[in-house]
A and B are shown apart, each in its own frame.
Chain A
C-alpha cells in the first residue's frame, strides 16, 4: 500500500490539464509516443472537439524512483462548473491533487472552488504553474496568487509545460514524495468506493472504485450497500490504458469491477461495495447525491420516436449518472421527458450526445430551475415544470432557489459585470481585489436567471476573461409569474417560463420578436402572443407565405437551387408541428438567445 499514490488534477478549463496528463502517461511509459494522440483520456468525440473533459476517467501508471517501484493512479476530472459533482467524486478517492494554474491566466473561480473541495477532503496539494513557455506567461505574478491562496512556499510550486514536457519529472517525483500513501486496513471488511461507472455494450456496466479498506477478490460475492443488491465479481482488475484483469485488488488501489449489471440505476456513484461473507458495517461517507440544477423537457421531433428516445436516455444514463429524467406529457409536444441537468453545458451536451451517439433529433424546451409553490391551502409543491404551477387563484407564494455567485475578473470589466448581475436580480455582497487588476465579486442571485443567457453574456462583456462559479443558497420567495406563449392562439406549454413580475413585459416582448425571427413563414398568418393568465402582454405576427417560386431555373441554376431546397428540407426535418404551426427546434430555445 505504501507504494500507491492516488491523485487527481484540479484545473480551470483550458489551463492545460489534459495535455499535462498526456505527458505523465508518456513519461511513465504507460503509453508509447507512437500511440499518443492528443488528449488520450478524452475519448468522446465531443470532448475532443470542445477541448473539455466531460466524464471522469482513471488510469494507472508505473513509476520508479530511487530503485523503488510505485503505482500512480490518476483520476482525471472534468473542468466545468456544471460537473463539480463528478469532481467531488474523484477528489474523495484521492490523497493528493495537482493544482494546475495557467501561467498566463492566473487563478480562476473554478480552480478556487475545486481547491476548497480538495482541501476539505484533506488532499495534499501540489501547485503547478503550467504553460510557462507561453510568451504571455507571468510566472511571478501568478506564483504570488498561488502562494496567497494556498499559504504554500514559493519553491513548492513546480513550473511546467505540458507542451514541451518541462517539469514533468519534477511533478512525478513530487507525487511520490508529497502525496501520502492511502491509509486503510487490509484486514478489515471490504469497503470500496464507487466513483464512476461506464457502460460497455458487451460487458454491461463497469464500476470504477477505490478500495478504502480490505481486499476484493475475483469471483467473490459482493454487495452494493445503498441498493442492497448482491453480485458476483465476475471480473476485477486495474485501469491501465486498457482494463487489465487481476485476481485481487488490494487496499488503497483503484480498480474496476464487472458483475453483469445491466441497469444503470443499480450502480449508484458514491455507493460502497463490500463482501457478502464479511460485510462492513457502514458505507463510506463523503458523497453527495447528484442534484440537478436545471430542468427542461426533451421531446422527440418525431412523436413516433418516443420509445427510441427512452431507450437512448437509458443508455445515456449508464455513463452519465448525473442525468435524471422522468416521463412527462406536453399538450404541445406529446410524450417526452422532464430531465434534470447539472447546468446549461450539461444540457447542451446531453442534447448533442443524443444526436451524435443515438441519432435522435430532439426538442429541448425552455429550461427552468426547481421551484417551490405554496397553495392557499398551505400545501408545498415542488415545481420542475412551469406548466405545473398552480393557478394564481390557489397560489399563496412561489419560492425560487438562490445561489452565491463568485466571479473573478479583470478589474476593467467590474462595472459591466455588476450591471449584468443586477439586471439579473443579483445583489452584490462582497468585492475583493485579489491583485491590483483582478477582482473577486460575490453576488446573491436567483439560479433561474443563470439558466437563461448569463454565461454567454458574462463571457461577452468580459471578453472571455471572467470566470464564474456558484454554490446553492436557500430558497427565497419571489414575485414570479407564469408567462405563456400562444402560437396561432394556441398556448404552447413547452415555451412557458416563470419570470419575475417586473421583467415579464420586456421578456414577453423580446421572446415574441425572437420567435418571429425563428419561425419560418407558413401558408397562413401566425400570431405570436405572450400572455400572463388571460392577459396578452405582447404580440407579433408572422405573415403568411404566399409566394415561393424561383423565376429562372435553367442549366446554371439547377444545382444551386437544388442545394438550397435540400437545405430547406433538412431544416424541416428538425421542425415540430404544434397545432398546425411548424416550429423549428431552435425556436424552443429562443429564450436563451434574447439580447
Chain B
C-alpha cells in the first residue's frame, strides 16, 4: 500500500510550538515547485520493487499546503500521474489552515483530486490561538469546516491541541464538544510538546510564558479519551480518533511499516529497509535539484532497528504489537525478549495481551514511549 508524502515548506506565519521545516518567506515558492517537479521525475522508480506499485495515498503536509493555488496543485498532480500509477480510490489529503479556506478556495479544492482535508484548528478559543501564534480566528475555525462540508468535502479531519497553559479543563471539554458538533469523522488531538529550538522553548526558558504542566496534560488526556469514547470515536492511535473505521489510510501506513516516498525538503522516505530524508533547507533543496540532484541522508535499518521501529509504531495503535508478526519477521528470540521486558507492564496494568497481541491500556498510553523503549533490543 505505498504512499506519497509531499512537504510544502512555506507558512504565512510561524506557530510558536512548531518544529517542522518551513519558511515564512514565500519568494521561493515558484522555484520550489519546479524543484519538486524535478524530484518527482527523479524518483519515479522508487516503488519499482514493490509487488504493487499502485499509489494508495497521497498526503500534502507542511508547512501549509493550503498556500498552493489550484493551478499549482494541478501541475503537481500532472507530474505525479506521469510518473506513478495512482489508484482511482486513493486517499488524497491536504493539510489546510482555516484562514486559507475561504469559499473560493474550498470550491477550487472540491474540484481537485484532493478528497480529504486536514484542518489545523487547534482550538476554538481566541486566547489559545493567540498564545500559539496561529493565523486564524475562532470564527474561521468553525466556518472553514462548515464551508468545506457545504461544498461536498465530507472526509475531514481536524487537529486539536491540549495541554497549553491557557486551556483549562472546561475549555478543553468545550473544544471537544465544538469539534463533535461539526460532525467530522476524524479528529487528531495532540498534547502540546515543547520542542527544542522553537519560539515556545525560548519563551519558556525566558519565563515569558508558563511551562507545560504535566498534571494538566494528563487530565486533558483523560478527558479526551473519555469524551471520545462517549461519542463513539475509536482511539486507533495515541493521538488519532475516528468514527466508523474512517482511519487516515496514509498515516496508518506509517504505523504498519509500509513504504512511502517523501518529496520536498525534510521529507522522509522508507522502502521497508532503508530510510532517507531530504535536506531541511529550501535553498539547498532547490539548488541541488537545479542540477538534477536530490540532497538526502540515508540509513539502512538493521534487523534490531526494524524490530524497534515496529514496536515503537505498532504499540501506539489499536491493532497492537503482534507477537505472530514478530515471530514471523524477526524470530522467536525477539518474541521471548519482548515478553520478558513486558512482564512488569503486564503486572502494572499498563499493557495487556490479547489474541497474541500487546495492547496499551488507557493508563499505559500515558507512558507509551517508556514501554516501547523497554521492549527495544539494542
Contacts and interface: CB of A to CB of B under 8 A. Distances in A.
Contact of B366 (A549, A565, A566, A570): A549
Interface residues of A, number: 24
B309 A546 contact: no
A559 B308 contact: no
Given A546-B218, A547-B367, A553 B312 contact: yes
B287 interface: no
A545 B373 contact: no
A243 to B, nearest CB: 41
Which interface residue of A523, A547, A548 has the most chain B CB atoms within 10 A? Answer: A547
A535 B350 CA distance: 38
Contacts of A568: 370, 373
B172 interface: no
Interface string B31-59: 00000000000000000000000000000
B267 A565 contact: no
A50 interface: no
Contacts of A463: none
Interface size class of B (residues with CB under 8 A): 35 or more
Contact of A546 (B299, B366, B369, B378): B366
Which interface residue of B266, B270, B370 has the most chain A CB atoms within 10 A? Answer: B370
A565 B373 contact: yes
Given A549-B238, A555-B254, A556-B262, A562 B190 contact: no
Contacts of A566: 305, 308, 373, 376, 378
Contacts of B20: 556
B316 interface: yes
B262 A558 contact: no
Nearest to B215: A546
Interface of A: 523, 545-556, 558-559, 561-562, 565-566, 568-570, 572-573
A565 B309 CA distance: 10
A572 B239 contact: no
Given A547-B367, A553-B313, A523 B348 contact: yes
B134 interface: no
B260 interface: yes
Contacts of A559: 268, 275, 277, 299
B238 A565 contact: no
Contacts of B270: 555, 558
Contacts of A545: 367, 370
Contact of A562 (B193, B237, B238, B305): B305
A478 to B, nearest CB: 45
B217 interface: yes
A281 to B, nearest CB: 61
Which interface residue of B192, B262, B372 has the most chain A CB atoms within 10 A? Answer: B372
Contacts, number: 101
Contacts of B365: 549
Contacts of B308: 562, 565-566
B254 A569 contact: no
B214 A556 contact: no
A548 B366 contact: yes
Given A552-B190, A562-B309, 18 more contacts: A523-B367, A545-B367, A546-B367, A547-B367, A548-B367, A549-B365, A549-B368, A551-B191, A553-B255, A556-B262, A556-B268, A558-B268, A559-B275, A559-B277, A562-B312, A565-B376, A566-B373, A566-B378
A550 B255 CA distance: 14
B214 to A, nearest CB: 6
Contact of B374 (A547, A552, A572): A572
Contacts of B241: none
Which interface residue of A523, A559, A570 has the most chain B CB atoms within 10 A? Answer: A559
Contacts of B218: 546-547
A555 B262 contact: yes
18 contacts: A545-B370, A547-B191, A547-B214, A548-B369, A549-B191, A549-B365, A550-B238, A551-B193, A551-B238, A556-B267, A556-B268, A556-B277, A558-B268, A558-B275, A562-B309, A565-B369, A566-B373, A573-B378
A546 B221 CA distance: 12
